[in-house]
Amino acid sequence: MTRPAARTLRPVHVSLANGMIVSCLQKHEVPLVSLEIESYFSNGVQLNPGDTVFDVGANIGLFSLAAYARCMNNLRVYAFEPVKPIFDLLCANIEHNTSTGMIEPLGFGLSSSAKALPFSFYPGAPVLSTAYPDEAADILTIKGTVQNSIMYLDEAPRALRWMRWIPAFIRSPILDLALKRTLRGENITCQMQTMSQFIREREIERIDFLKIDVEKAEMDVLRGIDIDDWGKIRQMVIEVHDFDDRLSTITALLRRHGLTRITVEQPVTNASSNIYTVFAMRQ
């Protein structure tokens, strides 16, 4: 269910393991997203000081900040986040935790063409805000993620861990009710451009690491890369929602453009869902 934007949002502050403090709208999202981000630095992914990173679907900046810290504050990051309430937090987190100007927040998204797109912004679950809302499917996916987090992750947020002690037949309807309330969206319009348009405007010669996590819009991002720009991308990590055989389509596309070292994983929190993480590198 989507409603016109109306709510006043108050950010809360969370301390990260590396000592950084970030602002967010939902505190429980931070540890789960942080776990996901840690997995991005695996399967042969290498980041070095001086590299250039594209963070597509930057959200509040957790990946950008983690990559920046790993490279001793010497990393050029372009962080794309089109949802205005989330973008404002991205800017605040970059300003609070960096001083070099090496992470640039960009208040638009990347897509197959330059255009304005309607989004559903979820104040109760900002990380799931999307141009492709599907309440029934999203509730099933999130329900699975929450249940897997409760059962298998010691790092699961405290707000979820108490549910381990509730019998499954009671837990399920509680989650259904909570998730319907969480996925009450607000209509907003977001600006988009293509990756190749941005590459031309900034005269970017090389992308050492491209991370894409855009809640079902990953094909749109990839369609916005001109054939001449694929060779500039050295390694990628993509969250893929595998419907309409999208996982096979994307891995074939990556191989066709020379990113032939491919690993596909499904994090434990996404077990039994259609969400996968694709790692791709050049030989």
Q: How confident is the model at residue 190 (pLDDT cuts 50, 70, 90)?
A: very high
Average pLDDT score over the chain:
88
CA distance 151 to 163: 9
Residue 179 in this model has a pLDDT that exceeds 60: yes
What is the share, in percent, of the chain residues with pLDDT greater than 70? 86
Mean pLDDT (whole number) for 5-23: 83
The boundaries of the domain holding residue 97 are 2-120+187-281
Q: How confident is the model at residue 151 (pLDDT cuts 50, 70, 90)?
A: low
What's the alpha-carbon Rg for the chain, to the nearest Å? 18
Residue 154 lies in a domain: no
Neighbours of 260 (CB within 10 A): 13
Residue 95 lies in a domain: yes
Residue 60 lies in a domain: yes
Q: How confident is the model at residue 4 (pLDDT cuts 50, 70, 90)?
A: very low
Residue 138 in this model has a pLDDT that exceeds 80: no
Residue 106 lies in a domain: yes
Residue 162 in this model has a pLDDT that exceeds 60: no
pLDDT of residue 6: 45
Contact 190, 109 (CB under 8 A): yes
Q: Which pLDDT tens digit goes with each residue over 60-102?
A: 999 999 999 999 999 999 999 999 999 999 999 999 999 889 9
Residue 262 in this model has a pLDDT that exceeds 80: yes
Query: 67-76, 152-161, 167-176 — which is least confidently predicted?
Result: 152-161
Query: 44-53, 96-105, 267-276 — which is least confidently predicted?
Result: 267-276
Residue 129 lies in a domain: no
Q: What is the DSSP letter of 229?
A: G
Residue 148 lies in a domain: no
**Residue 5 CB-half CA count within 13 A:** 14
pLDDT of residue 165: 57
Mean pLDDT (whole number) for 135-149: 70
Q: What is the domain-level CATH number for residue 31? A: 3.40.50.150
Q: How confident is the model at residue 268 (pLDDT cuts 50, 70, 90)?
A: confident
Give, to the nearest 10 degrees, the angle between helix 84-97 and helix 62-70. 20
Beta bridge partners of 104: 78
pLDDT of residue 134: 84
Residue 16 lies in a domain: yes
- For 48-104, give the DSSP string: -TT-EEEEES-TTSHHHHHHHHHTTT--EEEEE---HHHHHHHHHHHHHH--SS-EE
CA distance 1 to 181: 9
Residue 220 in this model has a pLDDT that exceeds 50: yes
Mean pLDDT (whole number) for 102-107: 98
Query: 122-126, 135-139, 166-170 — which is least confidently predicted?
Result: 166-170
Residue 171 lies in a domain: no
pLDDT of residue 160: 56
Residue 124 in this model has a pLDDT that exceeds 90: no
> What is the count of structural domains for the chain?
1
